[in-house]
């Protein structure tokens, strides 16, 4: 998490330096407190408890009264575990035993540092873990709750328990005390400086990486190409070939507009774009505009007509090829599925194969994001978007995703920045994650209500675009679905249900790891393997039980699969050399537009 502060040569405190640093850090803390208090007063009128949160926890708390046996059993288990902690602690304190006080706490990443391997650190960490397990057990009591309330209660309680970890507080984190000793308190000064730096406009915006370490087009998103088409919604990038011959049918990549496209083009070593170019594909990439107030009334009709369909028309002009292959990611995959259904209704057969990365088409089990969503939540969100000028601010979306993995994406950075006084390390993936985008109000409200809340895309005629009813079952295009085993944004069992909706040949592949690492898994590194089963079984678990594990990246398998739809070889096409001339160098203008 960045370079630690220099360690003092003496194990003894330099009292004068320590005193000076404590005074400096106290003054900086006072400055922060005044800013935070002023911001809180200014936002007091808008502040109100989340009604869903309040109602869910009220129901859950009342429900405990009707489960006395379960509560008593959990309390007894907690008492037994705590008694064991203190028995071990006392025997170790008096030298009667050298047996570890903690057991399960040692397996928790938050408590692996040597600073926790002291008598006090072990007692504290193991006591916390015991308490956390107790509350997790209570959160599993679901009798009397609706399925939604049960999921919400579990989510809220888990996040509360995570927030109360002793690692998150200076007084109870021995790593902080060790840092104070090693630096004579300089870590506290740096921590307060970090806090003030990240507290902007009344909000704490945690830096996950060094924001000055990367520049789009310079050391990230660097695959060479040209922007060959632009409208108010997209720029279309054509990448330069790296082989003398290329596959006849071009490849269009449709990324999600919930993030910038370059997750698939971070650096040369992990760029799917660069790798696909090197395999002989003529790669085109959609770069979505980062919308502002002027896009508030942009809807799914526009994302279809001015997005995917416009890109396909432009590719045909640029290359002269009618047939193409499409690969799409997450929300971009949902849009691609809608596009294919629209084309099926219009007898448009230009897409010869479609690849879907971690894509939801059936939203019956939408994963942890579904915790946030009901009619009241979406109504409130739509009002917030309208009050904000017609869009959802990117930082609000980022905060929701970070909450899904608060220990990894919030608290670990909080500790390093604001307690230990470290600087964030340069990390391409986290830079991309912080480069957030806005959501147009009309599109985003429609998406949440019709997909996440009512799951209408899976219904024949449930969604209408440009006056055409969509039916995913009419899609006969060969499809390749790749999902990730540990994906909590698009759970693989849910994506499997979506894959079953198509009528054409479908291949489902399950990669290891999560929503990002399961996809950005370079073929040259083969860090994660995948499971493969050529049969599309009746249900996801049957598919998995009959699947074979392959210890290499799924990129190899996909390239072999898509070759059947590549249409042979032709001379390499230079970006911008066709009917559509180059407008500017990749990665273009839209990707550089900040929130």
Residues labelled catalytic? 330
Give yes or no for a contact between 511 and 481, defined as CB atoms under 8 angstroms apart.
Answer: no
**Closest listed residue to residue 519, CA positions, set 251, 227, 256:** 256
Asked whether 319 and 310 are in contact (CB, 8 A), the reply is no
Backbone dihedral region for residue 301 (phi beyond 0: left; psi -120 to 50: alpha; all else: beta): alpha
Gap between the Cα atoms of 595 and 593, Å rounded? 7
Cross-strand partners of 201: none
**How far apart are the C-alpha atoms of 335 and 332, rounded to whole Å?**
5
In the chain the first and final C-alpha atoms are separated, in Å, by 25
| Residues facing 286 on adjacent strands | 236
Helices vs. strands in the chain: H and E counts, helices first: 20, 19
**Long-range CB contacts (< 8 A, 24+ apart) of 580-585?**
580/228, 580/229, 580/314, 580/317, 580/318, 581/228, 582/226, 582/227, 582/228, 583/226, 583/227, 583/228, 583/229, 583/230, 583/235, 584/226, 584/227, 585/217, 585/224, 585/225, 585/226, 585/227
Task: For residue 353, give the 3-state DSSP assignment.
Answer: strand
| Token pair in block for residue 124 | 């504290």
Query: What gap in Å lies between CA 228 and CA 187, rounded to an integer?
Result: 50
**DSSP string spanning 361-396?**
S--SS-GGGGGG-SHHHHHHHHHHHHHTTSEE-HHH
On whether the CB atoms of residues 184 and 18 are closer than 8 A, the answer is: yes
Q: Residue 35, class by beta-carbon neighbours within 10 Å (0-12 exposed, 13-18 middle, 19+ buried)?
A: middle
Q: Where are the alpha helices (DSSP H) in 248-308?
A: 272-278, 300-302
Q: How many CB atoms lie within 10 A of CB 21?
A: 20
Neighbouring CB atoms inside 10 A of 578's CB total 19
How many whole angstroms separate alpha carbon 11 and alpha carbon 180? Answer: 11
299 near 330, Cβ under 8 Å? no
Apex CA 382: angle with CA 376 and CA 384, to 5°? 105
Angle at 393 between CA 302 and CA 376, to 5 degrees: 85
């Amino acid at each position: 998490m960045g370079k630690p502060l220099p360690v003092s040569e003496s194990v003894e405190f330099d009292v004068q330096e320590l005193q000076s640093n404590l005074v400096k850090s106290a003054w900086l803390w006072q400055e922060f407190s005044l800013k935070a208090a002023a911001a809180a007063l200014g936002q007091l009128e808008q502040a109100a408890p989340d009604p869903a949160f309040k109602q869910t926890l009220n129901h859950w708390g009342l429900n405990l009264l009707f489960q006395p046996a379960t509560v008593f059993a959990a309390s007894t288990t907690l008492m037994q575990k705590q008694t064991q902690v203190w028995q071990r602690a006392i025997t170790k304190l008096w030298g009667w035993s050298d047996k570890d006080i903690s057991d399960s706490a040692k397996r928790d990443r938050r408590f692996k540092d040597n600073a926790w391997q002291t008598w006090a650190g072990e007692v504290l960490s193991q006591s916390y873990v015991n308490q956390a397990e107790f509350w997790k057990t209570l959160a599993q009591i679901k009798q009397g709750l609706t399925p939604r309330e049960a999921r919400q209660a579990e989510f809220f309680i888990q996040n509360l328990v995570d927030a109360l970890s002793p690692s998150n507080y200076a007084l109870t984190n021995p790593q902080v005390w060790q840092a104070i000793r090693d630096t004579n308190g300089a870590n506290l000064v740096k921590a307060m400086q970090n806090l003030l730096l990240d507290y902007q406009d009344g909000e704490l915006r945690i830096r996950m990486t060094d924001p000055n370490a990367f520049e789009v087009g310079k050391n990230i998103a660097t695959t060479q190409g040209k922007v060959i088409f632009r409208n108010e919604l997209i720029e279309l990038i054509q990448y330069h070939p790296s082989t003398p011959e290329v596959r006849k049918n071009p490849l269009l990549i449709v990324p999600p507009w919930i993030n910038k496209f370059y997750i698939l083009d971070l650096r040369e070593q992990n760029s799917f774009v660069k790798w696909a170019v090197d395999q002989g594909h003529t790669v085109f990439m959609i770069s979505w505009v980062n919308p502002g107030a002027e896009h508030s009334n942009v809807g799914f009709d526009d994302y279809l007509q001015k997005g995917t369909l416009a890109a396909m028309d432009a590719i045909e002009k640029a290359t002269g090829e009618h047939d193409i292959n499409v690969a799409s990611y997450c929300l971009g995959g949902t849009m691609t599925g809608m596009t294919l259904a629209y084309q099926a209704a219009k007898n448009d057969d230009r897409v010869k194969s479609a690849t879907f990365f971690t894509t939801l088409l059936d939203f019956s089990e939408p994963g942890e994001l579904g915790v946030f969503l009901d009619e009241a939540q979406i109504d409130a969100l739509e009002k917030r978007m309208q009050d904000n000028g017609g869009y959802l601010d990117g930082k609000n979306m980022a905060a929701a995703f970070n909450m899904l993995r608060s220990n990894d994406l919030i608290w670990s950075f909080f500790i390093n920045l604001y307690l230990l006084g470290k600087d964030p390390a340069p990390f391409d993936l986290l830079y991309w994650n912080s480069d957030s985008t806005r959501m147009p109000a009309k599109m985003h409200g429609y998406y949440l209500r019709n997909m996440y809340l009512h799951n209408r895309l899976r219904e024949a005629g449930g969604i209408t675009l440009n006056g055409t009813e969509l039916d995913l079952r009419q899609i006969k295009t060969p499809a390749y679905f790749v999902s990730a085993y540990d994906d909590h944004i698009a759970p693989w069992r849910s994506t499997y249900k979506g894959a079953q909706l198509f009528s054409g040949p479908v291949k489902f592949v399950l990669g290891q790891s999560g929503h990002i690492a399961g996809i950005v898994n370079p073929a040259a590194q083969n860090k994660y393997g995948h499971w493969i089963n050529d049969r599309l079984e009746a249900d996801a678990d049957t598919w998995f039980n009959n699947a074979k594990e392959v210890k290499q990246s799924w990129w190899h398998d996909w390239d072999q699969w898509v070759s059947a739809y590549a249409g042979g070889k032709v001379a390499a096409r230079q970006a911008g050399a066709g009917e559509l001339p180059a407008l500017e160098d990749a990665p273009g203008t839209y990707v550089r537009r900040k929130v």
